[in-house]
Amino acid sequence: MTSAEPLIFKGVPGSPYTRKMLAYLRFRRIGYQLLIGDQASQMNLPEAKVQLLPTFYLPNDQGEMEAVVDSTPLIRRFEEDFMGRAAIPQNPVLAFINDLLEDYGDEWLTKAMFHYRWYYQDDITTAGKILPRWSNNGASEEALSQYGTYISERQISRLYVVGSNDTTAPVIEASYLRFLTIFDQLLQRHRFVLGDRPSSADFGIYAQLTQLAKFDPTPMKLCLDLAPRVHAWTDIVDDLSGQPAEDDGWIEPDGIPEHLGELLSEVGRVYIPALLANNAAIDAGHDQMDTTIDGQPWTQPTFPYQAKCLQTLRHRYFSLDQADRDGVDTALAGTGCEAFLGN
């Protein structure tokens, strides 16, 4: 694959992971073609084994086009395929912290996104009106209304899958409010998560904020009231094609506690306990996870994909040499994140 060949993928504006990949590609200055609606099927492109957005259409080892999903490994693939303006730091300690915070955005902040969108009536109404029009804006009002009802009923029925319910709602909402305050303060120190150039962690967090801070009424109002800087940052990250990507833009590893300590402590307060409890429940053969997060009860079905996330993070940690593991340990000390490393 060369930079002259635009990447082709399917997505919609209401998909945080579509937005994540769009912002990443713009920053990397990688050409792309975004397909919305039924364009992919009209082009006879292959279907993914798991129907997720975005879906990229990429050549396999035999040169045949295949459908590929999952934003995190896709970014790692593109980091190798395309040179320049890297979104993952070369420093192993920073790279690990980047992976952890990208995962937090992808797998924890998304709980807030899904929760607010399908838990409160104003948000349900907005999503029910707009999501169908993002896919097929030319359809009749009757068809769009019917599809909006279908989407809303389907998504509300799946709230339990991501852990949104009456028991967990206070934990999710309190965590979102803390995140807004923490992230607002972080952006007063540096422009991005790992300094003054963006990383994939920025794109993971930004992805959820395109919905939380910019679309869904309830969390958007909270963001505007508590952290207007975060609201504005989300617009900025949408297109960073003109953003410099100098090597000295990253913070130094020894600056992690000062710059990222509060955010990492939030990760250790809520996301790491959720990962560990989910993994323990799966290991015990349970299909339900009942635990305590931030001192409050938490219940949801087990989620095999997040067990994979935990395994991947642990593998990356134990693949580091001893000096870099020591650097990660120092960066995470006292945040609660060290618990998932077995330290």
Helices (H), 191-255: 200-212, 217-226, 228-237
Residues 231 and 322 in one domain: yes
Residues 40 and 112 in one domain: no
- The answer to whether residue 87 sits within a structural domain is no
- The answer to whether residue 131 sits within a structural domain is no
Residues 200 and 333 in one domain: yes
User: Which residue bears the tokens 């207007």?
Assistant: 228
Residues 55 and 168 in one domain: no
Residues 211 and 236 in one domain: yes
Residues 171 and 309 in one domain: yes
Pairing outcome for strands 55-59 and 7-10: antiparallel
Which whole-number Å values give the CA distances from 287 to 157, 161, 183, 303, in the listed order? 18, 11, 34, 8
Chain mean position to CA 53: 12
- The answer to whether residue 195 sits within a structural domain is yes
Residues 225 and 187 in one domain: yes
Look over the chain and give the mean of its residue pLDDT values, rounded to a whole number. Answer: 95
Neighbours of 295 (CB within 10 A): 7
Q: For residue 328, give both structure tokens.
A: 């990660």
**Packed helices 200-212 and 228-237: angle between N→C axes, nearest 10 degrees:** 120
Q: What is the DSSP code (8-state) at residue 269?
A: I
Question: Which regions of the chain does DSSP assign to beta strands (E)?
Answer: 7-10, 32-35, 55-59, 65-68, 288-293, 296-301
Residues 61 and 198 in one domain: no
Q: Phi and psi dihedrals of 70, rounded to 5?
A: 90, 105
The pLDDT of residue 141 is 95
Residues 214 and 248 in one domain: yes
pLDDT in tens, 131-153: 999 988 999 999 999 999 999 99
In which domain, by residue range, is 325 found? 92-119+159-341
Residues 70 and 201 in one domain: no
Overall pTM > 0.85: yes
Residues 257 and 202 in one domain: yes
130 Cβ contact list (under 8 Å, min separation 6): 14, 215
The pLDDT of residue 3 is 54
| pLDDT string in tens for the chain (343-residue length) | 445 689 999 999 999 999 999 999 999 999 999 999 888 888 889 888 888 999 999 999 888 899 999 999 999 999 999 999 999 999 999 999 999 999 999 999 999 999 999 999 999 999 999 999 998 899 999 999 999 999 999 999 999 899 999 999 999 999 999 999 999 999 999 999 999 999 999 999 999 999 999 999 999 999 999 999 999 999 999 999 999 998 889 999 999 999 999 999 999 999 999 999 999 999 999 999 999 999 999 999 999 999 999 999 999 999 999 999 999 999 999 999 999 987 5
How many structural domains is the chain composed of?
2
- The answer to whether residue 136 sits within a structural domain is no
- The answer to whether residue 125 sits within a structural domain is no
Residues 320 and 184 in one domain: yes
- The answer to whether residue 269 sits within a structural domain is yes
